[in-house]
Structure 1
Amino acid sequence: MRKIIVSEFLSMDGVMQGPGGPQEDTTGNFAYGGWIAPLGDEQMNQQLGKIMAPPYDLLLGHFTFNIWASYWPNQQGTIAEQFNKVTKYVVSGSQVELSWENSVLITGDIITEIKNLKAQNGVDLLIMGSGKLVQALLAANLVDKLHTFTYPIILGGGKRLFEAGSQAYEWQLTDSLISATGIIMATYQPKGDVRTGQVSED
């Protein structure tokens, strides 16, 4: 069975929109595109490299796919080579132009289709960006591992990973590191239902 692994760049207030560049995602007049660039460092690069080192296919929402499909085929380097080579499963409620090589459309009953994809033998499925897709997968308990890169920035507005309606769930921290520029890099696995109790003086 394949695992679904989510990796996201976040601000301290949970915004995930447009981390890579000014024109990446300006939806809602978002003015801070490229907010991760000034704080990136070698520790962050190494941690991201570890996540992307094992074999993987990409699982992407159509919005993120369209951004990437216009960028990565024109780039060179290790990441571009990987992204161009791997199979890219594109989740959309409508038809999407699949000009990027090795792209496959997932539509219809998306959760059922992803469950079927997850049940296959093969490499793990890596998700980056794709906020709405990640939210749907979290609600369906289909995420096996969550990597977050939380930057010491408050953006005040924009698309957030955990919007209202996110499912209550407890996660177990399995790895953590803080970079020299203050990026909190954490890895979580699902643990179970939220537990409650009474805080006492002891």
Structure 2
Amino acid sequence: MKLSVNLFMTLDGVSQAPGSPEEDTRGEFSFGGWLMPLFDEGCGRAVDGWFSHTSALLLGRRTYDTFASHWPQVTDPDDRVADQINSGPKHVVTSSPTGDVWSSTTTVLDGDILARIRDLKALPGDELQVHGSIRLARALHQAGMVDLYRFLLAPVVVGAGAGIFGAEGPALTMTTSASTVTDSGVVALELTPGEFGTASAAVEDGTDTIEHPA
């Protein structure tokens, strides 16, 4: 399976607590719920498209608990996202029991967590998907294990908050495989990572140009 990271993100790279003020206040984060005023039908279609590729979910414990408090209550048979989350396989990185909300849950506990996740990727299927789970997503990004990044990039700036990208790298140049803009101005992006590259501004025969390394 491909490993995909699927996140909501502000313009300044924050993915913490998009859904409500109480969702995640770690670090005294006080801007929770920043996405909801902009979440329109286009955002819903984008997220529905993400889940159409889900073979299994890989979640951190906080995101798992957030999902478990919400999605079992969504019983609309036409809600593909709810159906996938409630009935599909879920793997949770945690050191404590997950309870019995979903029988389709397994835990990734012992040994080398990244090695365990590589084993999950080796299973047949479309995508092993990370949703939310910022610390887990950042660790997978830093380990170079992510095959596909999807973001809902909101025209919002919140300042300090948790996000997937940090000073630790790695440096990548992304290829945009899909992009749309919703009516509220949210950009839905699908990106594949590639080798980082540089170029230089130059002048050739009096013409402003870009000079690529040999």
TM-score, L = length of structure 2? 0.87
Aligned to 2:144: 141
Query: What is the deviation of 1:165?
Result: 0.9
Rounded Cα–Cα distance in structure 1 between residues aligned with 2:6 and 2:54: 15
Rounded Cα–Cα distance in structure 2 between residues aligned with 1:96 and 1:136: 22
Alignment map for 1:78-89 (pairs within 5 Å): 78=79, 79-89=81-91
Query: What is the deviation of 1:63?
Result: 1.9
Aligned to 1:37: 36
Root-mean-square deviation (CA), in Å?
A: 1.5
SS of residue paired to 1:70:
helix
Alignment map for 1:160-199 (pairs within 5 Å): 160-192=163-195, 194-199=196-201
The one-letter amino acid paired with 1:30 is F
Query: What is the deviation of 1:200?
Result: 1.0
Query: What is the deviation of 1:55?
Result: 4.3
Aligned to 1:90: 92
Aligned to 2:115: 112
Q: 1:135 to 1:42 in 2, by over 3 A?
A: same
Rounded Cα–Cα distance in structure 2 between residues aligned with 1:166 and 1:13: 16
Aligned to 1:25: 24
Rounded Cα–Cα distance in structure 1 between residues aligned with 2:73 and 2:54: 22
Structure 1 or 2: more strand by fraction: 2
Q: 1:111 to 1:37 in 2, by over 3 A?
A: same
* Matched residue count: 199
SS of residue paired to 1:58:
strand
**Unpaired segments ≥5 residues, structure 2:** 209-214
Stretches of 4+ aligned residues off by more than 6 angstroms: none
The one-letter amino acid paired with 1:32 is F
Q: Is the CA contact (8 Å cut-off) linking 2:19 and 2:32 kept in structure 1?
A: yes
Query: What is the deviation of 1:144?
Result: 1.1
Report sequence identity in percent.
33
SS of residue paired to 2:202:
coil
Q: Is the CA contact (8 Å cut-off) linking 1:5 and 1:127 kept in structure 2?
A: yes
Rounded Cα–Cα distance in structure 2 between residues aligned with 1:128 and 1:120: 19
Rounded Cα–Cα distance in structure 2 between residues aligned with 1:21 and 1:181: 18
Q: Is the CA contact (8 Å cut-off) linking 2:138 and 2:163 kept in structure 1?
A: no
Rounded Cα–Cα distance in structure 2 between residues aligned with 1:170 and 1:96: 39
Q: Is the CA contact (8 Å cut-off) linking 1:62 and 1:96 kept in structure 2?
A: no
Q: Is the CA contact (8 Å cut-off) linking 2:3 and 2:130 kept in structure 1?
A: yes
The one-letter amino acid paired with 1:20 is G
Rounded Cα–Cα distance in structure 2 between residues aligned with 1:119 and 1:100: 27
User: Which has the greater radius of gyration?
Assistant: 2
Aligned to 1:11: 10
Query: What is the deviation of 1:99?
Result: 2.4
**Unpaired segments ≥5 residues, structure 1:** none
Query: What is the deviation of 1:58?
Result: 0.7
Q: 1:63 to 1:80 in 2, by over 3 A?
A: same
